[in-house]
Structure 1
Amino acid sequence: MAETLTNRVAAAGLITLKLEEHWPKASFGTFDLKDYLFMELILKEKDFRAALKEHDFSQYRDKILLVFCSADAIIPAWAYMLVAAAASPFAADVYQGQEEDFLRDHFRRVADSLDLSDFEGKRVVVKGCGEKPVPASAYLDVTARLQPVVKSVMYGEPCSTLPVFKKPRERK
């Protein structure tokens, strides 16, 4: 008598949450204010405005423009405002900070936007080890967001998971 094989992973009723699928669609461009500093110390408004007029912001078309200063200088808030005003007609998004900062904030918004009713009382596997480097903070944020509503949270692949959280059984 042949034994019937059962797919225990499918039968377990797991929901797999793939954070990598929420990776930003646009590529990144960078704008380092260091290149516009006088003696790598200060930003002169008149010179900066002139340089911005000469800068080709169309190169950031449909990109996420990361605006930062890699030099140890105090940058006035208006400098970021001027860059945003010049880049906004072209860029998909303009962000003050570097890629790591953007991704941390992006995935926080992803966690905050999850429809928790989709996960109510379910067993959730948060997939790890993808092709794109999802920041560790994303795993923290999604766990904190899911924990109040799920039955359990696991990390890894449905066939090999690491338990993270399991809701205690209610006593009758």
Structure 2
Amino acid sequence: MEIINKIDASGIQTLDLRHYKPNGNDFIVFDIVSFLIEDFLLQEKTFRSEMAKIDWNQFTGKDVVICCSNDAIIPLWAYALISSLLATHASIIVYSVTGNHESILWMERIRKIEFSAYIGQKVVLKANTAIPEEILVLATSQLIKYVQTLMWGEAGSPLMIYKRK
């Protein structure tokens, strides 16, 4: 007697959004504070000189978070300059206030998923309380453009979210 796995036979694909969650080892934080005079003053000439000394190749293929870890008032052009220097090297570049890096990077990684691979498919978003609401909402809003059926939970007993008519 052959045992048939009904979940495999159903054609349901499970998408675990935790696989896209960044951890402290797979992104670089570019803190602008170390380029400020006495940690609070940005002097344009000095700042541009310091930026010219950086080997931007070290950021090739990396996810980079630009931030200022203190209360210094940074002119917006400084962030734009850093971003322009990173643009040809980094995989993802985001700005974040300290402590919000993970969520912003996670959202950017979700945006980079090739959701067209799920055209006409039955997909279940794997349930996990460690997945923040903003990640679930973003993935759902992208997936429903492609999937036949979208569910949440486990492949063996999913909750129906969306079904294309």
Is the structural similarity TM-score above 0.5?
yes
Pair 1:12-2:10 in alignment? yes
Pair 1:142-2:139 in alignment? yes
Counterpart of 1:66?
Answer: 65
Between the aligned partners of 2:127 and 2:62, the Cα distance in structure 1 is 26
Distance 1:148 1:91, change over 3 A: closer
Counterpart of 1:103?
Answer: 106
Gaps of 5+ in 1: none
Pair 1:77-2:76 in alignment? yes
Deviations 1:138-163 (A, max 9, x none): 3222223444775643234323x441
Distance 1:89 1:163, change over 3 A: closer
Distance 1:157 1:32, change over 3 A: same
What is the deviation of 1:86?
3.4
AA aligned to 1:31 is F
TM-score normalized with structure 1 length: 0.67
User: Aligned runs of 1:121-140 on 2, under 5 Å?
Assistant: 122-128=121-127, 136-140=133-137
Deviations 1:27-80 (A, max 9, x none): 422210122233433322122112223334343233222211111233212101
What SS does the aligned partner of 1:106 have?
Answer: helix
Between the aligned partners of 1:148 and 1:87, the Cα distance in structure 2 is 32
What is the deviation of 1:18?
4.1
Distance 1:59 1:144, change over 3 A: closer
Gaps of 5+ in 2: none
Larger radius of gyration: 1
Q: Is this contact kept in 2: 1:103–1:135, CA < 8 A?
A: no
Deviations 1:92-112 (A, max 9, x none): 4433333431221331343xx
Q: Is this contact kept in 2: 1:123–1:151, CA < 8 A?
A: yes
What SS does the aligned partner of 1:115 have?
Answer: helix
Counterpart of 2:40?
Answer: 41
Between the aligned partners of 1:67 and 1:37, the Cα distance in structure 2 is 14
Distance 1:84 1:146, change over 3 A: closer
Distance 1:148 1:101, change over 3 A: closer
TM-score normalized with structure 2 length: 0.69
Distance 1:126 1:48, change over 3 A: same
Distance 1:4 1:109, change over 3 A: closer
How many residues of Structure 1 are paired with residues of Structure 2 in the alignment?
158
Percent identical pairs in the alignment equals 28
AA aligned to 1:105 is E
